Amino acid sequence: MNRLQILVLFILVAFVNNLNAQPRKELIQVLVSPDKSDWTYETGDRAEFTISVLKNSVPLDNVEVQYRIQPEKVDVWEEGTIKLKDGKATLKAKKFKDPGFLRCHASVEIDGKTYSSYSTAGFSPEEIQPTTTLPDDFEKFWNSGKEELAKIPVNPVMTLIPERCTDKVDVYHVSMNNISGKIYGILCKPKAEGKYPAILHVPGAGIRPYYGDIYGAENGFVTLQIGIHGIPVNLDPVVYNDLRYGALDNYWVTNMDDKDNYYYKRVYLGCVRAVDFIESLDCFDGETIGVTGGSQGGALSIITAGLDERIDYLAAFYPALADLTGYLHGTGRRVASHVQE
C-alpha cells in the first residue's frame, strides 16, 4: 500500500470503530441542525438552528420543545419553549462576536420520557488562541519521563485468544511493562505473512474490557487496542464495574496536584510504551503507525502523537481535555460536537 491508501484505510477504520461505539437509535429522535452545512461561521455571523422531532422516523407536529442557546459551557444567552409547526421550528441566535462555539440544546417530553439533543456551531474556530501557557520545564519533564521509560524492558507477553480469532486474523491478549505496573491490550494481526502498517486504539474514559479491532486487521493493519488502568482487559465485566465505583472512582483527578504522581502521567507514558511494543512486532512494516480514539481517547491520541514522533497519522474524535481553561475566558472554545442523548 502507498501512503495515500494507508491514510484512506486508516480514516475508514477509525470511523467504523467510532461508529460502532455510538448509542442505539431511540424511538424518539430530537434533531438540531445549523443552517451551514459545514457547521462553521465567521465571527459576527448569526447562526440559525432548525429543530425537529421524529417518532419512528416520522416528523411530529404541534409538539412543545424546550430550548436554550449558549456559548458552549458558558452562561445561557436565550432559553424558552417553542412549538413545532409543520414538523419543525427555527431559532436564530444573536451575533457571535469572538472565535468559539455556540450550542443550541433542545429537549422534548413524550409519554413521560425526556428526549434531547444539541448542535454546536463553530465561529472562526481557526482563530481560537490557546489560553494556557507552556510551563518552562514542559519538554524537559516529558523527555525525562520517556528516557526513564526507555530504561525499562518492554517484556511483552502475548496470549492467543482462539475463540476470537478468525480465518484471517489472530487475536491476542497482551501485556507489557510500563513506567510503573503494566499496560494491557488486545492485539489483532493478519494471519497472512507480510509487513503491515499499525493502528493504536486508545480508550475513552471508563473501566471496561476490550475486544480488539478485528475489522482493521482484516483490512491489512496490525491493530492494538489498549486499556490504561494497568489491569488485564479480558476479565469478567463485574470486575470493571466494581473498580469503577471503588478503587478507580474519579481516577482522572487522582494526584492531580502532583505532576510526578498524577494518574495520567503513567497513562501518557503507557501510550508511548504501546508504540514501543508495536515497533517490536515482526509483522509491523517498521515505519507506519496511526493513533485514534474518541473523548478521553481523542485526547490520548493527540497527546501520543505529540509525545512520540513515530506516530504518522492521527484521528481524534470529540477529544476531551481540550482547552479547558478557555471556559474561563467567557466563550465556548472546546471542539465542536453533536450528540443524540
Q: What was the pLDDT predicted at 158?
A: 98
Question: Binning pLDDT at 50, 70 and 90, where does residue 272 land?
Answer: very high
- CATH topology for 28-127 is Immunoglobulin-like (2.60.40)
Q: What was the pLDDT predicted at 131?
A: 82
- Summarised one tens digit per residue, pLDDT across range 288-317 is 999 999 999 999 999 999 999 999 999 999
Residues 6+ apart with CB under 8 A from 99: 43, 123, 124, 125, 126, 127, 128, 129, 331, 333
Residues 6+ apart with CB under 8 A from 2: none
Joined together, the cell numbers standing for residue 16 give 467504523
| Overall pTM surpassing 0.85 (yes/no) | no
| pLDDT value at 340 more than 50 | no
How far is Cα 49 from Cα 238, in angstroms, rounded to an integer? Answer: 43
| pLDDT value at 164 more than 90 | yes
- Summarised one tens digit per residue, pLDDT across range 100-120 is 899 999 999 999 999 999 999
In the chain, ranges of CATH 3.40.50.1820 domains = 134-322
In the chain, ranges of CATH 2.60.40.1930 domains = 28-127
Q: What is the mean pLDDT of the chain?
A: 90
More confidently predicted of 10 and 292: 292
How far is Cα 54 from Cα 253, in angstroms, rounded to an integer? Answer: 40
Q: What was the pLDDT predicted at 337?
A: 34
Give the angle 58-32-328 at the CA atoms, nearest 5°.
Answer: 160
Q: 25-39, 206-220, 226-240: which range is least confident on average?
A: 25-39
The domain 134-322 is classified under which CATH number: 3.40.190.10, 3.40.50.1820, 2.60.40.1250, 3.40.50.12780?
A: 3.40.50.1820
Q: 5-14, 82-91, 111-120, 263-272: which range is least confident on average?
A: 5-14
| pLDDT value at 327 more than 90 | no
> Which one-letter DSSP state was computed for residue 26?
P
Q: What was the pLDDT predicted at 324?
A: 73
How far is Cα 219 from Cα 272, in angstroms, rounded to an integer? Answer: 24
- Summarised one tens digit per residue, pLDDT across range 177-221 is 999 999 999 999 999 999 999 999 999 999 999 999 999 999 999
